Amino acid sequence: MTMQGRRRVVVWTVIGIVAALLLLSSTAAYYYTEVLWFEELGYLSVFWTILRARLLVGLASGLVFGLFLFVNLRFIRSSILHLSSQVEELQAGRWFLPRTINRVIAAVSVVFGLLAGISFATEWETVLRYINQAPFGVPDPLYGRDIAYFVFTLPFYRVIFNSVGFLILLTLMIMGLIYFFAGSVNFLGGRVNVHPRSRAHLAVLLASYLLLKAWGYWLDAFQLVYSARGVAFGGSYTDIHAQLPVFRIMSILAVLSALVALWYIRARDIRWLYAAVGIMMIGSLALGSIYPAVIQRLVVTPNEITRETPYIEHNITYTRAAFGLDRVEVREFPATDTLTWEDLEDNMHTIENVRLWDWRPLLASYRQLHTIRAYYEFTDADVDRYVIDGKYQQVMIAARELDYDRVPGAETWVNKRLQYTHGHGLVMSPAAQFTPQGLPVMHIEDIPTVSQVDIEVENPAIYFGELTREYVIANTLEPELHYPEGASNVYIHYDGTGGVPIEGFLRRSLFALRFSDYNMLLSGSITDESRVMYYRHIGDRVRRLAPFLMYDEDPYVVLSREEGRMFWIQDAYTHTTRYPYSEPYRHQLNYIRNSVKIVVDAYHGDVTFYVFDEEDPLIQTYQNIFPDLFRPQDEMPEEFQSHVRYPQDLFRIQMDMYRTYHMEDPVVFYNKEDLWEYPEEIFAGQSRRMEPYYIIMDLPGGDTKEQEFILMIPFTPSQRDVMISWVAGRSDGDHYGDLLVYKMPKGRTVLGPRQIEARIDQDAEISQLFTLWGQSGSHVIRGNLMVIPIQDSLLYIEPVYLESADTALPELRRVIAAYGNRVAMGRDLPETMEILFGVRPPVVEDGIEDPDNGVVIPGTDMELIERAWELFQGAQDALRGGQWSRYGDLMSQLEDILERLAGEMEDLSP
C-alpha cells in the first residue's frame, strides 16, 4: 500500500472513531437524562422495568438468532472444507482458508443476531403481559378458554411462531444459496444433484419449518374467534364446521410432510422433497380454500340466518361485554307534550345550566378579548362544573398558555429558553349566561387574574400544558416573564419542584449534548439550582410514563379551590384487538375501558395515575408489571373526583357500537331492522352530525333527584329523522361510568333534531331576522341544537350568534327553543321560555316593510333601537372601508327606522 493510501486509511479510521464516540456519548446523554427525568417524577422503577424488558427480550432473541445461524454456518464450513479438499480450483482460493471462514461466520452471526435483537426488543410489552397476565374470568364460546388466553397468551405464541419461522426460512434460504454457489447443489444431466451432507442439512431445516407449521395451524384454529368470514365478526358456521377441521388436518399433514422431508436424507431421491412440499401446497389449496368456500356456498348461504344464529349471538354478547354495553340500563321515556311553566320552574336549575356557549364561538371570543398579548393562546374551551357561590353550575374554562411561535424575539436563546417559560392563568365563564352585548359573562378573567366568584387563582403560572412542547430552563439568574402590566412586565423566579435540577457541570454538559444546545454551557445565567423542564406537553408527559395506554384527545384544566392553582385531568384507556368474537372498532380495537384518570400539576409537573376500574383485567396486568405506577381511586383527592367526567372519546366509541349492538335479537340484528343513526343538525350554516354534549339535569325516572353532570346524545332510526332514543353517560359520585338509555314510546312520533331544524328554517319571523342580519354584513352562526329532557318531555334549544365580517368576535344575540309544534326566539333563554309557554306575548309584534328588500323589520321600540344601532355600526364600517354604495343602503334603512321611532314618539306626546 502506498503512503497516500495509508494516510487515507488513517484519516477514515479517525473519522470513524470520532463518529462512534459522538454516537455513544449522545446515546449515553439521552439515557442518563431520561433516568433523571423518571427519577424526578418518582417513577424510576417504570423506566428500569421497560428498559430491562427491552434488553432481555432483545438479548434472548439476538442470541437465539445468532447461535442458530452460527451453528448452521459452522456445519456449512465443514462441508465446504470437505469439498475444497477434493476440488483443485477451490484449494487455491483464500476464501476457503479455515481462519477466514471462521471470521466470516462469526461476523455474519453477530450482525444478524444484533439486527434480530433490535427488531424483537419492541415485543417487550407482549412478553411482560404474558408473564403477568390477569384472568378475565370469562370463557370464550368456542374453546372454553379464559379470554386472557386470547388477549395475553396467544399473541405471545404468535410472536414466537413468526420469529422462529422467519429464522428457519432465512437460514434455509442462506444455506441453499451458499450450497449452490459452492457447488454442493448443481444441475447435471437434467437432474438436481445434492451432496449428502448438504442434503441432510437442508432436509432437517425444511422438516423443522414444517413441524413449526404444524404448530402454526394449531394456533390458527384459535384465531378463528377473530374471523371476518361470516355475517358477524368471530367464528362462523363455515369456520367451525369447515375451517377448523381443515386446520387440524393440515397440522397432521405438516407433520407427515416433515417426516417425508427427513426420509429424503435416506432415500436420496429429490422427488421425496418435492412430495413434502407438494403435500402442503395441495392440502392448503384443496382444504384451506376450496372446501370452506364450497360449504359456505352450498350449506350456509341458502340457510344463512338459521346456520349463523348461534354465532351472531356470540358476537352480540361478546361485543357488548367488550365495550361495556352489557351494563347499559334501559328505561322508557314517555315524551309527553304536557310540559307547563310550573314544570319549568321545578327544573329551573336545568334551564339555568343549558350550555348556550358552543366551544367554537366561545373560543373565538376568548381569543379576541382575553389573550391580552399576542404570545398567549387558548387552545381549547373545556366544559366542567363547579359549585360557585353555593350553586352547582356548568362552566366553560380555558387555560391561557404561552404560544412559543409568537414569543417576541423567539430567535434569541434567552427569550425562548430562559425568559418566556410559562403561561398565565385562565378564564372561566358560565355556560348559560351572556351580557346584553352578546359576550360571555366572566367569572374569572384578565391578567393578573381577577375572580368575580368564590374561587381564587393564587398561582396562575402554567409550566406544563397543551402547548408546552419546548424545553425551558427555570429558576436562572434571568428573570422569567410572569405577565405584562401596562407598558412594562412583571417577572418572577420559579420556586417549584418541576424539572430536573442542573446541580453541576457534568449534568449541564449532558443536557447540552442531549438537546444539541451548547448555549447551556456558555450561558452565565444558569446556576446549579436551575431546573431543566422537558416533556412538558401533557400528552408527551403521560405517554412517556405509560406508553401502553391510549389517551383521550381532550385533557381538561381544573382550578383547585384548595391549592389556588391549575391541574390537568387526562383520561386514559386500556384496550386490545384480541377480545374473542367482539366487533372491531375502525380496525383499531375491540375492547376498551376507561380504567385510568391522570392528574398533572400545571406548576410542579407531578403526574399521578389513578385506577378507576379495578375489575379491568388489562389494568390488573399492568399493575402487576408496574406496581409503583398506579394508585387506587380512593387516593384521588375529593376535589379532583368532583371534576372527573364521562370521557367524550369513550362515549363516542361506545355509541358508535351501541347504535347497532342495542339489537340483542339475532334475527333483528341479521336484518339490521332497528339500526340507529346520529341526528343531523345545522351548525354555522352547514348540516353536520350531532356531537355528544354535557348538561346538568335531573335524570327522569332515576333513583336520585339531585342535579347530575351527564354526557348525552340523541338517536334517530336509520333513514328517518324522528327521535327514537337518547343516551346519557353519568359523571357524578357513585354513578360515575353508568350508561342510561331512554327509549321513545313505540307507535308515537317524536320529532328529531333535523325536523326541529327544518321548523326553525320555516319560521317566518326567524328567517326574516336572519335575512336582515345577513344583509347588514353580519354572519349568522346557528349553534348546536341541544335536546334537553325536562321531566317526561323534550325541549330543544339552539343559540344564535352574530359575527361581523370584519372581526372574528361572535356575539350571542338570540336563543331559539322548540317544544311540540311550537318554535320561539328571544333575546335570552328566560325570554324564549316565556314566549314559548305563553307567559307574555311574543317580542315581534308587528313590523314595517323595507321598500328596497321587501323584508319585515321588527316593530317593537327595543327591536327598532337595537336594529338602528346595528345599521349605524355597519354604516360606519362601510364608510371607513370606502364602500359608498353599501353605506348609502344602510343609511337609507336607518332613516326608515328613525322615522318610525319618531312617529311613535309623536303618538305618545300629549
Using DSSP, state whether 693 is helix, strand or coil: strand
What are the DSSP calls for 812-840, one per residue? EEEEEEEETTEEEEESSHHHHHHHHTTSS
Looking up cell 449532558, which residue turns up?
510
Using DSSP, state whether 175 is helix, strand or coil: helix
User: Where are the alpha helices (H) located in 662-775, listed in sequence order?
Assistant: 666-671, 753-762, 764-775
All 3 cell numbers of residue 582? Answer: 367482539
- Report whether 314 contacts 224 (CB < 8 A): no
CA dist., res. 206 & res. 410, Å (int): 63
Q: Which residues of the chain have pLDDT under 50?
A: 87-96, 840-859, 908
- Report whether 667 contacts 306 (CB < 8 A): no
CA dist., res. 222 & res. 146, Å (int): 12
CA dist., res. 322 & res. 854, Å (int): 60
CA dist., res. 152 & res. 159, Å (int): 11
The single-letter code of the amino acid at 379 is T
Q: For residue 852, what pLDDT is reported?
A: 44
**Cis, peptide link before residue 448, omega less than 30° from 0:** yes
CA dist., res. 630 & res. 73, Å (int): 48
Q: How many CA atoms lie within 13 A of 204 on its CB side?
A: 10
Looking up cell 444546545, which residue turns up?
517
Q: How many residues are given for the chain?
A: 910
CA dist., res. 790 & res. 339, Å (int): 8
Q: For residue 6, what pLDDT is reported?
A: 62
CA dist., res. 46 & res. 841, Å (int): 67
Angle (deg, nearest 10), helices 753-762 and 764-775: 70
pLDDT, tens only, 225-249: 999 998 999 999 999 999 999 999 8
Q: For residue 851, what pLDDT is reported?
A: 42
Q: For residue 59, what pLDDT is reported?
A: 95
What are the DSSP calls for 223-250, one per residue? HGGG--SSSSSS--HHIIIIIHHHHHHH
User: What does each C-alpha distance from 861 to 768, 825, 838, 843, 905 come to in angstroms?
Assistant: 18, 17, 21, 10, 10
Q: For residue 704, what pLDDT is reported?
A: 62
pLDDT, tens only, 347-373: 889 999 999 999 999 999 999 999 989
Q: How many CA atoms lie within 13 A of 844 on its CB side?
A: 20
CA dist., res. 426 & res. 407, Å (int): 19
Using DSSP, state whether 481 is helix, strand or coil: strand
All 3 cell numbers of residue 893? Answer: 334603512
- Report whether 525 contacts 414 (CB < 8 A): yes
The single-letter code of the amino acid at 906 is E
314 CB-near residues (< 8 Å, 6+ apart): 141, 142, 232, 234, 235, 581
DSSP letter at 82 equals: H
137-156 residues labelled b (16+ CB within 10 A) or e (exposed): eeebbbeeebbbbbbbbbbb
Q: For residue 174, what pLDDT is reported?
A: 87
- Report whether 378 contacts 399 (CB < 8 A): yes
CA dist., res. 506 & res. 288, Å (int): 63
CA dist., res. 517 & res. 22, Å (int): 15
Q: Is the dihedral of CA 111, 112, 113, 115 positive or negative?
A: positive
- Report whether 462 contacts 480 (CB < 8 A): no
CA dist., res. 657 & res. 640, Å (int): 30
- Report whether 673 contacts 745 (CB < 8 A): no
CA dist., res. 531 & res. 41, Å (int): 13
All 3 cell numbers of residue 559? Answer: 382550578
All 3 cell numbers of residue 139? Answer: 370463557
Using DSSP, state whether 533 is helix, strand or coil: strand
Phi, psi angle pair for 453, to nearest 5°: -125, -170
User: Which contiguous run of DSSP H or E holds residue 710?
Assistant: strand 708-717
What are the DSSP calls for 847-898, one per residue? EEE-TTT--EEE-SHHHHHHHHHHHHHHHHHHHHTT-HHHHHHHHHHHHHHH
CA dist., res. 826 & res. 356, Å (int): 13
User: What does each C-alpha distance from 556 to 443, 463, 686, 851, 857 come to in angstroms?
Assistant: 18, 15, 28, 52, 44
CA dist., res. 16 & res. 759, Å (int): 76
Angle (deg, nearest 10), helices 196-223 and 44-84: 150
What are the DSSP calls for 757-804, one per residue? HHHHHH-HHHHHHHHHHHHTTEEEEE---EEEEETTEEEEEEEEEEEE
CA dist., res. 532 & res. 717, Å (int): 56
247-280 residues labelled b (16+ CB within 10 A) or e (exposed): beebbebbbbbbebbbbbbeeeeeebbebbeebb
671-681 residues labelled b (16+ CB within 10 A) or e (exposed): eeeebbbbbbb
Chain centroid to Cα 504, Å, comes to 40
Q: For residue 291, what pLDDT is reported?
A: 87
| Angle (CA) 486 490 494, round 5° | 155
- Residues forming beta bridges with residue 429, ordered by sequence position: 396
713 CB-near residues (< 8 Å, 6+ apart): 651, 655, 678, 690, 691, 692, 693, 726, 727
| Angle (CA) 269 274 279, round 5° | 130
